[in-house]
């Protein structure tokens, strides 16, 4: 049987975008240990923050930076190339502290800065409320390009997150690999989740300059958006339309707490009760 820590950890790792604190509150209420269980969940918090590309604002900065496995230092700190800063990060409270000056040590530092400039312009144009980063990876034999955009609207009962991670060998990449991940949670009088994950693999001509490579990334993101739009259109005209025909004809929401009182055959389908 799974322990309380294992069960609570699965809740943490599966928390919807922007709702980690709500999940933590529920865990405290549901477990006999209450707040005492939280320190034991630190590995789950760390895994969640790094995989979700959690963002945090550094002191004295207006821009939020990313927390991920790609920009983690050996001492447990994280770094941001653009602001040339490293910082400590509390995975439970999701707060940064102890910022220090940081100089990137990479044989590909100039190439990384080129991609940062392209990514900065791209994010401002297409992704409001976004954060980004470009980091050396795989012992400096490749670079990772990260983009995350969050949109939270708890007053309207929905939150969403867009994540994109691209990897390419340097200095002369021939393939871009990665993942685009869209995660949206809608929870007014129900619980609906969109979790779309698309692998990316793009061939590029050898010795292509950074701007040419980045154009392929932009094209992949545009194609992904078009695919989502097309999928939503098909759902609206197909499955969702079919579902609507089964809903009550009273123009009122179903009172789920009184569901046992409905005469399902007549009240919901509008037909004769069997």
DSSP for residue 242: H
The answer to whether residues 179 and 201 touch, using CB atoms and an 8 Å cutoff, is no
**In a shared domain, residues 116 and 208:** yes
Last residue of a domain, one of 47, 82, 101: 101
The lowest-confidence range among 31-35, 70-74, 241-245, 254-258 is 241-245
Last residue of a domain, one of 101, 124, 143: 101
Q: Which residue has the higher pLDDT, 258 or 119?
A: 119
- b/e per residue, 138-158, with b = 16+ CB within 10 A? eeeebbbbbbbbbbeeeeeeb
Is 274 a member of any domain? no
Is 24 a member of any domain? yes
Is 246 a member of any domain? no
Is 272 a member of any domain? no
Q: Which residue has the higher pLDDT, 242 or 255?
A: 255
- Angle at 47 (CA atoms; ends 44, 49), nearest 5 degrees: 105
**In a shared domain, residues 77 and 26:** yes
Q: pLDDT per residue over 183-234, tens digit each?
A: 999 998 788 888 999 999 999 998 899 999 999 999 999 999 999 888 877 7
**In a shared domain, residues 13 and 127:** no
Q: Which residue has the higher pLDDT, 165 or 60?
A: 165
pLDDT at 269 over 60: no
**In a shared domain, residues 69 and 17:** yes
Question: Assign residue 222 a region: left if phi > 0, alpha if psi is -120 to 50, beta otherwise?
Answer: alpha
pLDDT at 239 over 70: no
**In a shared domain, residues 137 and 201:** yes
Q: pLDDT per residue over 87-101, tens digit each?
A: 999 999 999 999 999
**CATH number of the domain enclosing 82:** 3.30.1140.60
pLDDT at 238 over 80: no
- Cα distances from 272 to residues 58, 254, 261, 263, in angstroms, run 64, 19, 17, 10
**In a shared domain, residues 126 and 152:** yes
Q: Which residue has the higher pLDDT, 254 or 162?
A: 162
Last residue of a domain, one of 83, 101, 119: 101
**In a shared domain, residues 124 and 79:** no
Q: Which residue in 146, 198, 140 sits closest to 169, CA to CA?
A: 140
**In a shared domain, residues 85 and 199:** no
Is 59 a member of any domain? yes
Domain that holds residue 172: 109-237
* Cα 66 from Cα 263, distance rounded (Å): 53
> Which pLDDT score, from 0 to 100, does residue 263 have?
55
Is 44 a member of any domain? yes
Q: pLDDT per residue over 101-159, tens digit each?
A: 999 999 999 999 999 999 999 999 999 889 999 999 999 999 999 999 999 999 999 99
Count CA within 13 A, CB hemisphere, residue 63.
16
**In a shared domain, residues 134 and 223:** yes
* Cα 143 from Cα 136, distance rounded (Å): 4
Is 148 a member of any domain? yes
**CATH number of the domain enclosing 215:** 3.90.1150.210
Is 266 a member of any domain? no
Domain count, the chain: 2
**In a shared domain, residues 224 and 141:** yes
* Cα 159 from Cα 225, distance rounded (Å): 18
pLDDT at 85 over 60: yes
DSSP for residue 250: S
* Cα 168 from Cα 249, distance rounded (Å): 55
pTM: 0.84
**In a shared domain, residues 119 and 229:** yes
**In a shared domain, residues 90 and 120:** no
Q: Which residue in 148, 184, 142, 11 sits closest to 68, CA to CA?
A: 148
> Which pLDDT score, from 0 to 100, does residue 246 have?
55
């Amino acid at each position: 049987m799974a322990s309380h820590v294992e069960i609570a950890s699965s809740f943490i790792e599966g928390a919807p975008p922007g709702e980690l604190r709500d999940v933590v509150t529920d865990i405290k209420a549901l477990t006999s240990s209450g707040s005492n269980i939280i320190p034991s969940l630190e590995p789950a918090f760390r895994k969640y923050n790094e995989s979700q590309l959690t963002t945090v604002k550094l002191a004295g900065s207006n821009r939020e930076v990313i927390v991920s496995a790609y920009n983690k230092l050996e001492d447990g700190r994280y770094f941001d190339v653009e602001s040339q800063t490293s910082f400590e990060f509390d995975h439970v409270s999701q707060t940064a502290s102890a910022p220090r000056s940081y100089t990137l040590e990479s044989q590909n530092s100039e190439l990384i800065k080129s991609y940062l400039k392209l990514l900065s312009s791209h994010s401002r144009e297409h992704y409001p409320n976004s954060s980004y980063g470009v980091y050396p990876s795989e012992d400096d034999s490749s670079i990772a390009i990260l983009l995350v955009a969050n949109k939270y609207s708890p007053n309207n009962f929905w939150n969403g997150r867009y994540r994109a991670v691209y990897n390419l060998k340097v200095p002369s990449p021939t393939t871009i690999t990665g993942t685009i991940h869209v995660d949206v949670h809608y929870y007014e009088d129900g619980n609906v989740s969109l979790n779309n994950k698309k692998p990316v693999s793009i061939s590029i001509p050898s010795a292509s300059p950074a701007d040419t490579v980045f154009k392929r990334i932009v094209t992949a993101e545009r194609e992904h958006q078009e695919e989502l739009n097309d999928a939503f259109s098909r759902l609206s005209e197909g499955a969702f339309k079919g579902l609507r025909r089964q809903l009550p004809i009273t123009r009122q929401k179903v009172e789920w707490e009184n569901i046992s009182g409905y005469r399902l055959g007549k009240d919901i389908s509008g037909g004769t009760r069997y």
